[in-house]
Each structure stands twice: as C-alpha cells, then as structure tokens.
C-alpha cells in the first residue's frame, strides 16, 4: 500500500478531493477508500487542519494597494511600473515646515513639489493617491550635514575649556594642595593677595 | 486527449478571472480587484515557503508588481495550457477545467520564481519559527490547545523536511487549494507526475508523524 504507483497516487488524490469537498459542504463524514493506507488518511487530515491560509496585515495590504495604484498610474502614462533604481535610491523628499509655509508658491501643483525636480528628487505618488499633505511643497529650512556631530564636539570642547579656566582660578584649599604649591614655590591668587596685604601692612608698620 | 475543436468550443468558461483580467488590461487601476482576490493566496504561499512574515511581504510585493508590469502581455493561452498538462477525457480533470484560472496559474508561476530567488538569496530566514501560525484551537481548552499545537508543529516539521518540489506541491494543494491540474501548470509538470509527487509527500509526512509520535 505504501508504494508510489500511479494507482495509489490516484487513490490518494480521490481521498484528498473528497476531504476538501466535505470541508466545503461542512460534512462530517468523508468517503474513504478501504484500500487506502490509514496513515496517509491521518496525515492528510492533519495537514488539512494545520496548513491554514495566512492573511497579511491590513496595513501591508493597504500600503501595497497604494503602491500598485501608483504603479498602475505610471503604466497608464506609458512609464515603467517601478521607478528606476537611481531615482528610487535618491529617496523621497521630506522637508521641514518653515514659518513661510503659507507663502508657498502658488504654481505648485497638487501632489507635485516645485523644488523636487530642481533637486533631482522624486515625489511619492502614494501621497497623491492617499491625498496626504505634500510636505515637499513647503519651503524648507536649510540643514547642515553632520550638524549633530559637529555641535556635540563643539559643546564638549567649550565645556572643557570652561572647566580648566575655573579650576585654574579656584585652586583647592586642602593641605595636600597647599603642600604641593609650597613645594613648587607657587602661590595661589588668594595666597598672593594675602601675602600682598601682609607686605603692605608690614611696610606701613615699618 | 481533448480534441482542439473541443478545447476551442469552451474557452469562455476556461478562465474564471477573464472578466477581471480584461478590465485590468484596459484600465490598470482595475488590477486592484485581482490583487485583493489573490493577495492571501500569494502571501500564504510565500509565507509557508519562506517562513518569515517580512520576507513573505517582500516576495508578495514583488509578485504583484511583476504581475502588474506583465499584465499587458498576459494572454490566456488555453490550447497550450491544456496540451502542456496532457489532460485526458477519462482522467476526470475535464470537469476541473471550468474552475481553472490561467491567470492564477500565471501569477503563481511568478510567485514560484520570486520565492525561489528569495530562498536562494537569503537562507537566514529559515531559522524563523512558523509554529505561531499553526495549531490554534479553542482558547478555553488548554490541554486540547497544547495537543493541537504539538500535532500542528509536528505536521509542519514533517512538511518542512520534504524535498522542495514535494513541499511546493503540498502547499499549493493544502494552503492554496489548487487542483492537480493547476499545480501541474504552476510547477510545469504533468498531472500524473504531480499526483505521484503528492502521494509520495503524504507518505513521507505519515511516516514522519508516526516516527515523531512513537
């Protein structure tokens, strides 16, 4: 019975057809060929129960529908369904809204940015399909590339310089510090100030 | 073998998607109806083959994009389709013919190629578990739920161990509920070969399940 002959294969197919038809009409009983291997019947029923159809997420379904709609629009316009790789790699223009957004050029067509062609960037057709606001239609604030890194480094250097200056003007007053200063023959600002006052007093006295 | 005159006598019944396909060929925005109709089937096929939701989504997108791009060139090749499958009047497949969609066959041929390329290009996804999607039963019966999950994962493990062509045939048969004729057209084999393929696949799964249970 466990042979792979066409006759056995046909028997298995009939059982499979019967199983699927019974499922469709929600019948509990399935006609079984007595010659068929019970192990195959069991495996078939197991797979029928377990290999269920999977549906993608609603979000994915709608996003792909929008991309297909954009592709269909391109196809109707005589363009390829997908944008060329170079254009796609340039990315979608996403600009910051500036205070002058209200003064955006009036000749900007809906769904098409005026600055995009000049920048060599493409506007997402999905935006026009979904009637999303076109952020690229508004004037943009200039961006400094690498601005974050430069800013952080600059701030760190400034803080370091301030700290060194502060430490220089505020020496510690511990015994050890005084000993170190004495050993190096150096006097602190306050020490110099104190010694100056003492010298003046001594001079006055003398 | 069906005579050509017989074949030509009923081409209108042959493709159940003919209306939708023609509408989409005239106006590509009407492709949406075909997309909605076959999304779950294509996605399921990709998911069971790739075992990863993200990879399945990527593959699904590629399949439908390629289908949309190729739709103007799509032809319902009835004669070739029948001749390539070696349908015989006595095989019982003739009754199947009214339910066959050459568009679905065409779409799944694209899916087969896309998924095969995905599997070749990235094998890391094979580590991802599929069991989450399997073996769900009534939530109030914990013992039954656990048993069903174990059996489900055992069945899937057995399918996952099958050789590529047998696994594909099983997925197309059980998940996408295709008949032998359609599977044969998708895989580019004769109906007889697919029948034997499925029989051997089920035999292997049965042996595997028996081994796992013992």
> Does the pLDDT of residue A157 top 90, yes or no?
no
The pLDDT-based confidence of B2 (bands split at 50, 70, 90) is: very low
Contacts of B171 in chain A (CB under 8 A): 51
Contact A54 B177 (CB under 8 A): no
Contacts of A48 in chain B (CB under 8 A): 174
Closest listed residue to residue B160, CA positions, set B2, B50, B59, B8 = B50
pLDDT at B52 (0 to 100): 87
Query: How far is Cα B181 from Cα B97, in angstroms, rounded to an integer?
Result: 8
Phi, psi of B188 (to 5 degrees): 70, 40
- The beta-carbon neighbor of B199 closest among A4, A46, A69 is A4
Contacts of B62 in chain A (CB under 8 A): none
Q: What percent of chain B has pLDDT over 70?
A: 67
Q: Which residues pair with A122 in a beta bridge?
A: A92
Residues shown for chain A: 206
Complex ipTM value: 0.74
Distance of CA A2 to the CA centre of its chain: 54
Rg (CA), chain B: 19
pLDDT at A85 (0 to 100): 57
pLDDT digits (tens, 9 = 90+) for B122-165: 665 454 445 444 544 444 455 555 555 555 677 788 888 899 99
pLDDT at A124 (0 to 100): 45
> Does the pLDDT of residue A142 top 60, yes or no?
no
The rounded mean pLDDT for chain B is 77
Q: What is the pLDDT averaged over residues B108-118?
A: 93
Closest listed residue to residue B175, CA positions, set B57, B54, B47, B53 = B47
pLDDT at B6 (0 to 100): 40
Nearest CA in chain B to A6: B196
Nearest CA in chain A to B46: A54
> Does the pLDDT of residue A74 top 70, yes or no?
yes
pLDDT at B214 (0 to 100): 74
- Domain extents in chain B: 4-130+137-213
pLDDT digits (tens, 9 = 90+) for A22-36: 877 777 777 677 778
- Report the range of poorest mean pLDDT among A69-78, A141-150, B173-182: A141-150
Query: How far is Cα A173 from Cα A187, in angstroms, rounded to an integer?
Result: 12
How many Cβ atoms are within 10 Å of B82's Cβ, its own excluded?
23
pLDDT at A2 (0 to 100): 45
Nearest CA in chain B to A82: B65
pLDDT at B55 (0 to 100): 92
pLDDT digits (tens, 9 = 90+) for B60-73: 999 999 999 998 88
Q: What is the pLDDT averaged over residues A76-82?
A: 80
């Amino acid at each position: 019975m466990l042979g792979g002959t066409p006759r056995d294969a046909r028997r298995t197919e009939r059982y499979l057809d019967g199983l699927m038809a019974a499922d469709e009409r929600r019948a509990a009983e399935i006609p079984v060929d007595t010659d068929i291997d019970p192990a195959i019947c069991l495996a078939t029923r197991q797979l029928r129960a377990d290999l269920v159809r999977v549906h993608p997420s609603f979000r994915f379904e709608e996003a792909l529908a929008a991309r297909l709609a954009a592709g269909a629009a391109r196809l109707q316009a005589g363009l390829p369904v997908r944008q060329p790789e170079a254009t796609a790699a340039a990315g979608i223009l996403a600009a910051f809204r500036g205070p002058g957004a209200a003064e955006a050029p009036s000749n900007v067509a809906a769904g098409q940015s005026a600055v995009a062609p000049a920048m060599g960037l493409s506007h997402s057709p999905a935006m026009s399909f979904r009637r999303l606001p076109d952020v690229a239609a508004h004037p943009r604030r200039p961006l400094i590339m690498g601005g974050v890194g430069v800013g952080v480094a600059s701030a760190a250097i400034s803080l370091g310089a301030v700290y060194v200056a502060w430490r220089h003007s505020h020496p510690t007053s511990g015994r050890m510090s005084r000993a170190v200063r004495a050993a190096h023959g150096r006097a602190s600002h306050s020490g110099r100030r104190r010694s100056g006052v003492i010298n003046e007093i001594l001079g006055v006295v003398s | 073998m069906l005579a050509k005159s017989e074949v030509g006598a009923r081409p209108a019944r042959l493709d159940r998607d003919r209306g939708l396909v023609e509408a989409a060929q005239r106006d590509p925005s009407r492709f949406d109806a075909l997309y909605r109709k076959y999304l779950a089937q294509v996605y399921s096929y990709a998911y069971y083959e790739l075992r990863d939701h993200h990879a399945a989504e990527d593959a699904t997108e590629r399949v439908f994009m390629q289908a949309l791009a190729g739709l103007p060139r799509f032809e319902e090749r009835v004669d070739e389709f029948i001749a390539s499958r070696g349908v015989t009047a006595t095989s019982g497949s003739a009754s199947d013919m009214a339910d066959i969609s050459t568009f679905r066959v065409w779409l799944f041929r694209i899916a087969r190629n896309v998924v095969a390329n995905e599997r070749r290009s990235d094998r890391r996804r094979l580590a991802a578990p599929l069991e989450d999607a399997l073996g769900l039963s009534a939530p109030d019966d914990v013992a039954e739920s656990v048993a069903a999950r174990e059996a489900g994962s055992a069945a899937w493990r057995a399918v996952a161990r099958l050789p590529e062509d047998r696994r594909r045939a099983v997925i197309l048969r059980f998940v996408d509920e295709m008949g032998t004729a359609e599977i044969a057209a998708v895989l580019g084999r004769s109906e007889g070969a697919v029948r034997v393929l499925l029989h051997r696949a089920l035999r292997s799964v049965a042996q595997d399940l028996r081994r796992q249970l013992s």
